[in-house]
Structure 1
Amino acid sequence: MKQVKELMSTNCKTVTLQDNVYEVAVIMAQNDVGFVPVVDSNDSGKLIGAITDRDLVVRGYAKKQPGSCAVSEVMSEALVTVSSTTDAEEAADIMAAHQIRRLPVVDNGRLVGVISLGDLALGNTTGRDAGQALSQISEHEHQNTVH
């Protein structure tokens, strides 16, 4: 069974509380990502939150927050995380249970990577992991979609 550390992305772009939402949006656009971890600038790599493209829209633009708005205004702080030694199957189960597509990977309080549904699918875990997680997440999103 593969562990998260074998599948996760380790070259994650991050921001700190000193950054603003414009800088987050630029990082997302330049790196073709929709998830940017927020780390403590005083404590190298300590994960304190994350911002998704959805956070930028819902907590930023929809609330008329300008591009100079602080990262703290739009970031999520209550994050679900896993360690690098977590089994890939367990990571998929956590994603499904919490309806999320990405999990920060944290060892000793420090961000060491991010694992996504795509990583699980490409990692050829047990075959059911990524597909089942995506199915459960998509089903939940479909139920919350306004028609």
Structure 2
Amino acid sequence: MKISEVMTKNVVSVSGEENIKRAAELMRDHDIGAIPVCNSDKVIGVVTDRDIVLRTVAEGSDASSENVRSIMTSTPVVASPDMDAREATKIMSEKQVRRLPVARDGKLVGMVSLGDFAVEGSTDNCAEKALSGISSPCCPKI
């Protein structure tokens, strides 16, 4: 199964110059946990609810004055709409991410998450396998 068959096509995005508060509002309004950061539809990063908490709230930063670029993951893993679901979930597991922006010719065309794979019956437990890899600690617990 190809990612294009399960991805969300109508994706909300922000520019790197938007303030963090705006990204958080979009997450709230659209009930999502990650937003691609784009420059003219080209994916340049990803910001997650976790990024906002750990890199803004926990640091005491002002979400209304700092821009998304300052907290985003600037080297996002991006999938192709023609990528096989198994390949995508393997990447998610290896990189320990739950969501992937989907781009064609560098332009954002969708977003795919573990949840998309989990609700799709024909992905051969790809989501379960990926979640197992994502949930493995990247370093030993102290």
TM-score of the alignment, normalized to the shorter chain, above 0.5: yes
Structure 1 gaps, min length 5: none
Over 3 Å counting, the alpha-carbon distance change for 1:47 and 1:5 in structure 2 is same
CA distance in 1, matches of 2:105, 2:17: 23
What is the CA-CA distance between 1:123 and the residue it aligns to? Answer: 1.8
CA distance in 2, matches of 1:33, 1:126: 22
> Partner letter of residue 12 of structure 1?
V
Deviates more, 1:27-36 or 1:56-65: 56-65
2:123 match: secondary structure? coil
Q: Paired residue for 1:29?
A: 28
Q: Paired residue for 2:74?
A: 77
Q: Paired residue for 2:103?
A: 106
CA RMSD of aligned residues (A): 1.6
- Asked if structure 1 preserves the Cα contact closer than 8 Å seen for 2:6 and 2:116, the reply is yes
TM-score by length of 2: 0.92
- Asked if structure 1 preserves the Cα contact closer than 8 Å seen for 2:27 and 2:34, the reply is yes
- Asked if structure 2 preserves the Cα contact closer than 8 Å seen for 1:101 and 1:117, the reply is yes
TM-score by length of 1: 0.89
How many positions carry a matched residue from both structures? 141
1:119 and 2:119 equivalent? no
Q: Percent identity?
A: 38
1:47 and 2:43 equivalent? yes
> Partner letter of residue 31 of structure 1?
H
1:56 and 2:55 equivalent? no
- Asked if structure 1 preserves the Cα contact closer than 8 Å seen for 2:118 and 2:125, the reply is no
CA distance in 2, matches of 1:74, 1:98: 18
Deviates more, 1:19-28 or 1:122-131: 122-131
> Partner letter of residue 113 of structure 2?
S
